[in-house]
């Protein structure tokens, strides 16, 4: 019981600190009942929810307003080209939601759907066409690509000025070097940082753990946190003491692609948890026959963390909002340099 009390006390203190830093929109999501609950209560304390869906919606509105303002003088709307290879159901869904988001903010979207067995040469030709198209500000080739295609060769072929995914080696390399600004920052890690920023979470001086080291999520997320003056540790499949490293962190970004791997007792009381994971698990009671869960065991972690993102409704919608933001940035640069 003494331990529980201590933990509750630490939690309440952490939450009050976070609450003081949090903007009004978020403050309302940390309930009074949570804060005023007697310390010895057995029920788990609920973390404040970081509402990625709402924050992404705010950003889309900001983008739409800017497009309205800019497009008359520019003579055209921002343009995003999305290339889809094959017929993976999840990829088709993502591409559809990207095109829908484009329409919503007043972008023009271009799309090329290629057959699963398309040759690498043909795919490279499509990329080259979009590189040369003056109406296209951003190019996204949906991943994963079929096995017979060299993914990196395709990503390398996207013009640096149109690499709105931020996957070009020069963009990732610039992120890793002090004093260099990448042309574009990858959407998912950029979305994680934006969630922290818009939730009033201070990053400078904090310890952070990133679970996962992929080129598209874990690595750039760690670099961004480090550039924001956090002290960062990366955890991967060969890390023997992942749990211990995560438990030392004030900020956790989970991107390991393993459903609910990060447990509640891995989380330091009062930590902020950003869950990037998107995993489908079978669920006969769900309409689609499956439901989405993150890389974090949400309920357990929410009982310990001060703030946490849900899945769905957390990082996912932010990825799309950042894709639009990157495309708008590219458009503004290209219009200005005419």
Ligand X SMILES: NC(=O)C1=CN([C@@H]2O[C@H](COP(=O)(O)OP(=O)(O)OC[C@H]3O[C@@H](n4cnc5c(N)ncnc54)[C@H](OP(=O)(O)O)[C@@H]3O)[C@@H](O)[C@H]2O)C=CC1
Ligand Y SMILES: Nc1nc(=O)c2c([nH]1)NC[C@@H]1CN(c3ccc(C(=O)N[C@@H](CCC(=O)O)C(=O)O)cc3)C=[N+]21
**CA distance linking residue 39 with residue 7, whole number of Å:** 9
Cβ neighbors of 107 (< 8 A, separation 6 or more) are 67, 77, 78, 79, 80, 324, 327
Pick the binder of ligand Y from 146, 279, 312, 329 (CB under 6 A).
Answer: 312
Residue 188 has, within 13 A of its CA and on its CB side, a CA count of: 19
SS3 state at 290: strand
- State the angle between helix axes of 218-227 and 169-176 in degrees (0 to 180), rounded to the nearest 10: 30
- For the beta carbon of residue 23, count every other beta carbon within 10 angstroms: 10
Contact characters 213-242, ligand X, x per CB under 6 A: xx-xxx----------------xxxxx--x
**CB 164 within 8 Å of CB 139:** yes
Does residue 165 have an active-site annotation? yes
Which region among 71-79, 121-129, 253-261, 282-290 touches ligand X (by CB under 6 A)? 253-261
90 is catalytic: no
Site for ligand Y contains 316 (CB under 6 A)? yes
* Other C-beta atoms lying within 10 Å of the C-beta of residue 147: 7
Closer of 218 and 316 to ligand Y (Cβ): 316
Residue 94: name its binding partner from ligand Y, ligand X, none (Cβ under 5 to 8 Å by kind).
Answer: ligand Y
Site mask for ligand X (CB under 6 A), range 133-172, x = bound: ----------------------------------------
Q: Which among 244, 257, 295 has a CA at the least distance from the CA of 274?
A: 295
Q: Is 279 in the site for ligand X (CB under 6 A)?
A: yes
For tokens 């940035």, the residue is 329
Nearest residue relative to ligand X (C-beta): 214
Window contacting ligand Y (CB under 6 A); options: 101-109, 114-122, 124-132, 307-315: 307-315
Q: Report the distance separating Cα 338 and Cα 333, nearest Å.
A: 9
**What is the C-alpha separation between 10 and 124, in angstroms, rounded?**
55
328 contacts ligand X (rule: CB under 6 A): no
Q: Which residues are 110's β-sheet partners?
A: 81
CB of 238 to ligand Y, least distance (A): 24
Q: How many residues does the chain have?
A: 338
* Prior bond of 312 cis (ω within 30°): yes
Among 295, 306, 308, 326, binds ligand X (CB under 6 A): 295
Which DSSP letter does residue 44 get? P
Position among 256, 293, 301, 304 found at the interface with ligand X (CB under 6 A): 256
- Which residue is nearest to ligand Y, using beta carbons? 316
Residue 72 designated active-site: no
Binding mask 154-193 toward ligand Y (x if CB under 6 A, else -) reads -----------x---------------------x------
Write down the least CB distance from residue 51 to ligand Y, Å.
Answer: 11
Q: Is 91 in the site for ligand X (CB under 6 A)?
A: no
Site residues, ligand X (CB under 6 A): 188, 211-214, 216-218, 235-239, 242, 255-258, 261, 276-279, 295, 315-316, 319
């Amino acid at each position: 019981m003494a331990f529980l009390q201590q933990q509750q006390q630490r939690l309440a203190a952490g939450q009050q600190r976070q609450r003081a830093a949090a903007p009004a929109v978020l403050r309302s999501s940390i309930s009074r009942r949570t804060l005023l609950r007697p310390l010895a209560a057995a029920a788990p304390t609920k973390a404040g929810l970081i509402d990625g869906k709402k924050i992404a919606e705010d950003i889309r509105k900001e983008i739409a307003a800017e497009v309205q303002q800019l497009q008359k003088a520019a003579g055209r709307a921002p343009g995003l080209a999305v290339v889809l290879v094959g017929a993976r159901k999840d990829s088709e869904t993502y591409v559809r939601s990207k095109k829908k988001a484009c329409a919503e903010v007043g972008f023009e979207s271009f799309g090329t759907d290629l057959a699963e067995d398309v040759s690498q040469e043909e795919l490279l030709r499509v990329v080259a066409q979009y590189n040369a198209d003056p109406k296209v500000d951003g190019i996204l080739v949906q991943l994963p690509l079929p096995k017979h295609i060299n993914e990196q060769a395709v990503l390398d072929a996207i013009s640096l000025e149109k690499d709105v995914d931020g996957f070009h080696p020069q963009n990732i390399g610039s992120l890793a070097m002090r004093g260099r600004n990448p042309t574009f920052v990858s959407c998912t890690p950029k979305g994680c940082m934006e969630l922290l920023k818009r939730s009033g979470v201070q990053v400078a001086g904090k310890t952070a753990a990133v679970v996962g080291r992929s080129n598209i999520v874990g690595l750039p997320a760690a670099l961004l946190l480090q550039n924001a003056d956090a002290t960062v540790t990366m955890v991967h499949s060969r890390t023997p003491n992942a749990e211990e490293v995560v438990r030392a962190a004030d900020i956790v970004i989970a991107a390991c692609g393993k459903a609910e791997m990060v447990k509640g007792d891995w989380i330091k009381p009062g930590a902020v948890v950003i869950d990037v994971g998107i995993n489908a698990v079978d669920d006969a009671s769900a309409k689609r026959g499956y439901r989405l869960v993150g890389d974090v065991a949400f309920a357990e972690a929410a009982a310990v963390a001060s703030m946490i993102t849900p899945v769905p409704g957390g990082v996912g919608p932010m990825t799309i909002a950042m894709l639009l933001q990157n495309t708008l940035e590219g458009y503004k640069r290209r219009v200005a340099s005419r």
